[in-house]
A and B are shown apart, each in its own frame.
Chain A
Amino acid sequence: MTPHRPASPGLVRGLALNRISGYCLAITCCLLLAAPALPAQGLTGQTLLEPPTTAWPTYNGDYSGRRYSTLDQINSSNVHSLSLAWLYATGTQAIKSTPLEVNGILYLTVPDNVWAVDARTGREIWHYYRQSEGDHIGNRGVAMWHDRLYLTTPDAQLVCLNAKDGKQIWIVKLADADLKYFATMSPLVVRDHVIAGVSGDVTDIPGFLDSIDPATGKLQWRWWVEPLPGEKGANTWPNVEAMRHGGGMTWMTGTYDPELNLLYWGTGNPNPVLVGSAREGANLYTCSIVALNPDTGKMVWYYQASPHDVHDWDNVETPVLFDGEFNGKPMHLLGQAARNSFFFLLDRTNGKHLLTAPFIDQTWSSSYDAEGHPIPKPHTAPSPDGALVAPATGGGTNWMAPSYDPQTGLFYVTATRTFSIYYLTARGKAEGWGGRDRGLWDDTATRAIDYKTGKIAWTHELGRGGSSAGNLSTAGRLLFTADNAGNLLALDPATGKTLWHLNAGGTMENSPMTYMLDGRQYVVVAAQDRLMAFALPGQPSAPGMQSAER
């Protein structure tokens, strides 16, 4: 028998791309026949660049990922009288999305579902449902462009909806769900690019990030997480086979600096997940923050937070953009509280490393290399007889939104202290995970990080267990989050002291957001399947009256 060539390196990539081209052709044809003129209503480009306080037009509210609002009608002196304005229950699994709010309408999701809800009253306007196969672990939300919405699905498709009525305009395949790709992330619109990433690490499939034409659904560019042989970074993989099956999913919404025209995106863990011996080297560009040109998809710089990860510590946590002093110099900064339990501060103009500091106790590293990468302690890699490590695979934090408050200069993160034993179960060639951790215990706290020093300014315990509650800070000197006992919390962002709480009857699994309509500020949070809007009682309600823009 003649031997085969080694496993075809281009097969997975080729397959996915061919399918996309096919879809795109069909869609383009349809659009040419019925090209709709885009109305001036809906979401304008200017709103995306500088969101007014009346809107929350992207997953993080704005491109910076700070989750900071300049609204201060609800503030530390009146928050004690905050009350429920309305409640909307989806009757499904927990809401993990942050709703968008544009022109008085909220758009929220759970997997397979989108709802448009009146942002003043909580009344449902329309509901889109499309049943799909695939991992239904969660959905983060939609992106908006003019009068269209974009949703990723459990079967790794990108759906374009008419925001007026929820009718489907087109659907394109991002990736092959039969290979166990799926999608949970909220796309991000940057001018005329819909940026969408993918999930999935149970099989050894390569990660990528797509830019899609918002009008036609056509692929504009695809950035692969793993390099090709001969490309920069290829020497951090042992061979082509490992590179082609290297994982690194792009499953969280990134951030964008319009002035530098750079997109900042986190990448996930390499595959096989726990089996480092199958992929010696740093495994670029997994577990990294990458800066990409949104027009070309070309990488401008990268910073790898966890070289050669063997603990499932996806580095997809929001790369938060803010300007501030560092070592006495004004700088354009990028801060990230990473899943591996370390806070990283970078110069976002060039990716230069400025600071590394643990934001919660961990046991896997006590030293850093010259570029601030944590160096693993010996014997913390998964092993057949089990390695006791903190944090567990879920990490010191995860996808729940952090927040940066320019008033306090503090970076807020939902931080989990968690121990686990990591077993390596793979015998022979490892496929997929090749092992698993068994969790022992978790405790969660909100922690405030001084970005200049990496020191913890305060800790507010949230109770036993893990948490999915995100953070929102406001100019009203408030930090909104939730504890593990079902209490929604408003904390003093300077001290962490509780200023307001309400038992919501279930835990928060999304991240709070806020907006102003008719002169009234709303804070919207979810507890399980219930979306709740809070406002102050007796506020003026003047139709058409909008507050000052930011």
Chain B
Amino acid sequence: MNVRKNRAAAASTVWKALPFALALAMIALAPVPALSQENPAPAARHRRRRAELKPTPAVERGQKTFGANCAFCHGEDATGGRGPDLVRSPLVAHDKAGDQIGPVILNGRPSKGMPPLHLSNAQIKDIAEFLHYRQAEALASAGVPSDYALKWMLTGNAAAGKEFFNGAGKCKDCHSPTGDLAYVATKYQPLELESQMLYPRQAKRTVTVTLPSGETLEGPLDHLDEFTVALHDSAGWYRSFPLDQVKVSVHDPLAAHRQLLDVLTQADVHNLFAYMETLK
């Protein structure tokens, strides 16, 4: 599902199908984890990253109660041990505010060796909040949090990365650690820095179009398919031309990055990233 397109579609149909449009809008606007079996464009995928989960006070209370009463069998994180994994539990999935798990906690499951637990309704509600939070975390596992810890990513050797930057990677042909890359590690979160390092997608292509008259136009490339080229000319006007009537020369600042992706080893990636992280 492409959230951005859904929003537009919902907005345009309000006049004729209000309830349906509202339903669509609610679906579109809800925090959706990046959980597709299909493949939206990467940009769309990034846009629909789930809002970061934050435990509420009830979740924190529930975690404590769970830790003291349930973790012995079900694990500190509720993923199971001697007792079942409650994150994958259908009962928890169907529970609303403790209505399903409450009776199980209060009565136990003697046939399966679970004793009754004497907890208050408030404590049960808190435990339910905690378990639902854990299930939400599992759902959100189809996303990489933007504050993903640097320590997980920093496995490379910065010196080797610097050597690659100046040598085999030919990065220094276009970039400088004191020029365009100065303080780059302070500009981006680690995860974003790694993506930018591999493919800085904001870099735009430019184009030179030569008209039949010999006149040339240069500017940012707006559109290129097999039939049409379009650019913004030096006066700021949009101009488009049939491809079979003009000569086109595209300058792609990312061509070197694309070529590099084919040959980079995992070690190169991690070493280069470790080097980029030194540029603070």
Residues of A within 8 A of B (CB): 1-8, 11-12, 15, 91-94, 112, 129, 131, 135-138, 176, 178-180, 199, 201-204, 241, 245, 249, 251, 268, 272-273, 312, 314, 361, 363, 379, 383-388, 390, 392-395, 398-399, 416, 418-421, 423, 425-426, 428-436, 438-442, 461, 463, 465-466, 468, 483-485, 487, 498, 501, 528-529
Contact = CB atoms under 8 A, between A and B. Distances in A.
B1 A135 contact: yes
B54 interface: no
B260 to A, nearest CB: 10
The secondary-structure label for the interface of chain A is: loop
Interface stretch (B151-159, B160-168, B175-183, B209-217): B151-159
Contact of A441 (B20, B38, B42, B226): B42
B158 to A, nearest CB: 14
A498 B226 contact: yes
A399 B36 CA distance: 12
A529 B9 contact: yes
Interface stretch (B55-63, B122-130, B192-200): B192-200
Contacts of B6: 93, 136
A438 B152 contact: no
A4 B113 contact: yes
A90 to B, nearest CB: 9
A138 B138 CA distance: 23
Contacts of B13: 91-92
Contacts of A202: 33, 35, 138-139, 141-142
Nearest to B261: A419
Contacts of A5: 84, 112-113
A284 B87 CA distance: 24
Given A91-B16, A438-B144, A440-B261, A7 B85 contact: yes
A385 B190 CA distance: 11
A434 B141 contact: yes
B114 A385 contact: no
Given A361-B262, A385-B154, A399 B38 contact: yes
23 contacts: A4-B82, A92-B13, A92-B24, A93-B5, A135-B35, A136-B27, A176-B93, A202-B142, A203-B138, A203-B139, A268-B37, A272-B141, A312-B37, A361-B262, A383-B266, A386-B153, A394-B38, A421-B198, A425-B141, A428-B79, A433-B142, A485-B225, A498-B226
A529 B16 CA distance: 15
Interface string B32-69: 01111111111001100000000000000000000000
Given A179-B93, A431-B138, A92 B79 contact: no
A461 B225 CA distance: 9
Contacts of B73: 1, 3-4
B84 A6 contact: yes
Contacts of A11: 89-90
